Amino acid sequence: MNVLVVGGAGYIGSHMCLCLATAGHRVVALDNLSTGHREAVQWGELVVASLDETSVVAETLRRHEIDVVMHFAACSLVGESMQDPYRYYQNNVSSTLSLLMAMRDAGVAQFIFSSTAAIFGDPQSDQIEENHPRQPINPYGNSKLAVEMLLQDAAQAYGLRATTLRYFNAAGADPQGRIGESHTPETHLIPRLLRRAAGEDLSVQIFGTDYPTRDGSCVRDYIHVNDLAVAHLNAMEHGRSQPGFHCFNLGNGIGHSVLEVVKAAERAVGVPLDIPFGPRRAGDPATLVASSRKAREILDWTPRHDSIDRIVADAWNWHRRPAF
């Protein structure tokens, strides 16, 4: 297949390019490099463009005879979305609509979309299934839910084959250390811990000690970025034979507390990190864990790197010597 990876210079997008190329597909990355890295595009051609450059997008779809578009390019910081919601609706919703219209005009019929656990809002069950109420509590979640609704309508009206994948906490890196996670600013727990361990002047705290969890810190479902990429590959195959709109939650179905992740980071690094406790961060639910049953059954997907030690070790392998 000829696959266009929008956001292919970003963290998850670049791992997707690697996964697709390894599986024998032809990959083209499209990225405006606002947060992505040119050096991360090592598998396939890079087209430097934004989605609002509609003639470049249309030309790219036609010239490369694209069969499937995977869309990873988005703003994804909850706090920033509260401060500047227009940016989130512009970049995450309006740009996606432009892309979908260009795809319709070019006759590209399959779309795989990066969605998020943030569409569910405050969890109402221990493990979040696909049919959990979608009630986001911030503009970031709203913007992703808006696209999910758009995709449902597009599947109905235009016959778009659309699959939305709701990620829980993406983490880890290519085990060979060729690419990894590199955000500015970095807000996520595992890279912050490891960048500090690698010597960066970064003050890291454990946000909150009084959540109703086993040790008082928040529990999250960390999923290896390579396992996420494989789920997309399987979703692409599934969407070829099953038209319409599909949704899957992607996590391991196992929760780890912040304290447990700190311990895993200490094991990977080999020294104590002495992370202090701090106040809660606004907007953090106590627990967010996926039910991965549907993806396992229907996509025939099994996370291979599901231990927190493996996830953190691969991330550390990158952060101790980041190439970009």
With contact defined as beta carbons under 8 Å apart, do 72 and 41 qualify? Answer: no
Q: Cα(first)–Cα(last) distance of the chain, in Å?
A: 29
The candidate with the shortest Cα–Cα distance to 75, out of 18, 118, 130, is: 118
Binder of ligand UFG out of 6, 9, 118, 229 (CB under 6 A) = 118
Residue nearest to ligand UFG (CB): 218
Cβ-based nearer residue to ligand UFG, 110 or 226: 226
Span near ligand UFG by CB under 6 A; candidates 20-28, 43-51, 201-209, 293-301: 201-209
With contact defined as beta carbons under 8 Å apart, do 251 and 258 qualify? Answer: no
Cβ-based nearer residue to ligand UFG, 122 or 300: 122
Answer yes or no: 211 catalytic.
no
The candidate with the shortest Cα–Cα distance to 181, out of 128, 222, 120, 121, is: 222
Residues between 277 and 316 that touch ligand UFG (CB under 6 A): 281, 284, 288
As a whole number of angstroms, the distance between CA 278 and CA 281 comes to 9
With contact defined as beta carbons under 8 Å apart, do 257 and 263 qualify? Answer: no
With contact defined as beta carbons under 8 Å apart, do 110 and 227 qualify? Answer: no
Shortest distance (Å) from residue 186 CB to ligand UFG: 9
Shortest distance (Å) from residue 241 CB to ligand UFG: 30
Token digits for 222?
Answer: 């960390």
As a whole number of angstroms, the distance between CA 161 and CA 196 comes to 43
194 binds ligand UFG (CB under 6 A): no
Shortest distance (Å) from residue 284 CB to ligand UFG: 4
The sign of the dihedral angle between the CA atoms of 288, 292, 294, 295 is: positive
Span near ligand UFG by CB under 6 A; candidates 48-56, 65-73, 114-122, 225-233: 114-122
81 binds ligand UFG (CB under 6 A): no
Cβ-based nearer residue to ligand UFG, 41 or 117: 117
Token digits for 229?
Answer: 């990429």
Q: What backbone phi and psi angles, to 5 degrees, belong to 241?
A: -95, -15
78 binds ligand UFG (CB under 6 A): yes
Binder of ligand UFG out of 124, 135, 156, 205 (CB under 6 A) = 205
116 binds ligand UFG (CB under 6 A): yes
Q: Which residues are catalytic, by number? A: 140
Interface contacts to ligand UFG, rule CB under 6 A: 76, 78, 116-118, 140, 169, 187-189, 192, 204-207, 218, 220, 258, 281, 284, 288
